[in-house]
A and B are shown apart, each in its own frame.
Chain A
Amino acid sequence: MKIAAAAIAGLIFGIGLALSGMLDPARVLGFLDIAGGAWDPTLVFVLAGAVGVTAIGYGLARPRAKPVFGESFQWPTASQIDARLLGGAAMFGVGWGLVGYCPGPAVASIGFAGTPTAIFCLALVGGMLLHRVMPAPPANRT
């Protein structure tokens, strides 16, 4: 059941991305381009809808002891704002600004968007594997 639940969540996530216009890197770059003269606020509305519904959904989950199919809620426990967090986020932002793809829309586009998108996803996986083989303090690895 966990597998089916995850598949359905992924499916709805993908439909949401498609409906919201976030599968088009040009639209994302239009949001990121604050000096272009034709700023695209779409992403703000997508984020508002997503954060709003998630905040309500998470809030309703808080009092519950455990999820329907799992043993426990896996709430993130890290709280420190350190150089790794900010350095990683900064790197991610540069890559995001270069192409207009973050991981969700890039993966969701594999089925229809063609070879350049597939190459981006391969490079994305390559970057993740590169991080895995780099030495890091145990506290920051999961």
Chain B
Amino acid sequence: MIATYDPMTALIGGALIGLAATLLLWLNGRIAGVSGILANAIAAPGPERDWRTAFLVGLIFGPIVFAFVGGTLPRPVLPPLPEIVIAGVLVGFGTRLGRGCTSGHGVCGLARLSPRSLAATATFVATAMATVFLIRHVGG
């Protein structure tokens, strides 16, 4: 059994993410890793912070522009508050310790055929799948 999904829209959406990563490299020479950009945007002030803040502002406005031109945005249903906080801290701490997330390692790293990013991506996909399995099928 497979859920209903739209492969072409997913592929085009993914291609736009790839276009954004390409633009950031071609124009500014930077890797589009959201966790790294966020971590350094909340660091010391200066020009190195400014472009990262601009990227994040663009990122936040992207879905709003998408909705403005007729796109549908989800109404996310999140788990209870303690789980949200624990998950957020794990994602924040883990992406710093592992130096990247789904965009930095998963998209940009795999595109460079980086063995380091492949190892990181395989690891976080595996522990994420194990977590979902424990919660949904073992009980949590």
Chain A residues close to B by CB (< 8 Å): 1-27, 29-30, 32-43, 45-58, 60-61, 64, 66-76, 78-81, 84-104, 106-114, 116-117, 119-132, 140
Contact = CB atoms under 8 A, between A and B. Distances in A.
Interface residues of B, number: 111
A131 to B, nearest CB: 4
A89 B94 contact: yes
B88 A126 contact: yes
Given A9-B58, A48-B14, A97-B132, A58 B25 contact: yes
Contacts of B2: 38-41
A55 B91 CA distance: 26
A73 to B, nearest CB: 4
Contacts of A33: 129, 132-133, 136
A87 B97 contact: yes
24 contacts: A9-B21, A18-B67, A19-B9, A21-B6, A23-B63, A35-B133, A39-B3, A45-B5, A47-B14, A67-B25, A67-B27, A68-B28, A84-B98, A89-B94, A92-B94, A93-B127, A98-B86, A99-B78, A99-B79, A102-B91, A107-B60, A116-B81, A120-B78, A123-B88
Contact of A120 (B87, B105, B124, B127): B87
A86 B73 CA distance: 33
B25 A107 contact: no
B26 A78 contact: no
Given A109-B63, A126-B92, 5 more contacts: A35-B133, A96-B124, A99-B83, A129-B42, A130-B89
Contacts of B16: 12-13, 15-16, 19-20, 49
Interface-centre pick from B42, B55, B76, B103 (highest chain A CB count, 10 A): B76
B84 A120 contact: yes
Contacts of B60: 10, 14, 107-108, 110-111
B60 to A, nearest CB: 5
Contacts of B78: 25, 99, 116-117, 120
